[in-house]
Amino acid sequence: MNFNLSWMAWTPPTAIFFVVIALLLLGMGVWEYASPGGNPRVGILRFETTRGDRLFVSLLGSAFIHLAWLGLVGPSLWWALALSVVYAIGVFRYV
């Protein structure tokens, strides 16, 4: 079986990005298997969210953080990554 993946620039950061997303989804699946239901809760946004909702909000917000960082600061994304991790922790704790 020969996969032609030349249409996408598979650089190491690109591969790491997709591996991390896959690991997050796998980790959420294991977490759901170990503790079903996830206890939906109402946070500061005042609507009920589950663990999956909070993961989605944190990934979406992290994408916007990185895009804003690229546009306003430049191509060095390490601080944007640190800010995204802090943002994701805040989302899982308070949303």
Per-residue confidence (pLDDT) for residue 1, from 0 to 100: 60
pTM of the model as a whole = 0.80
pLDDT value of position 79 = 95
Domain spans of the chain, in order of start: 12-94
> What is the 3-class SS of the chain, one letter each residue?
CCCCCCCCCCCHHHHHHHHHHHHHHHHHHHHHHHCCCCCCEECCCCCEECHHHHHHHHHHHHHHHHHHHHHHCCCCCHHHHHHHHHHHHHHHHHC
Spans of the chain below 50 pLDDT: none
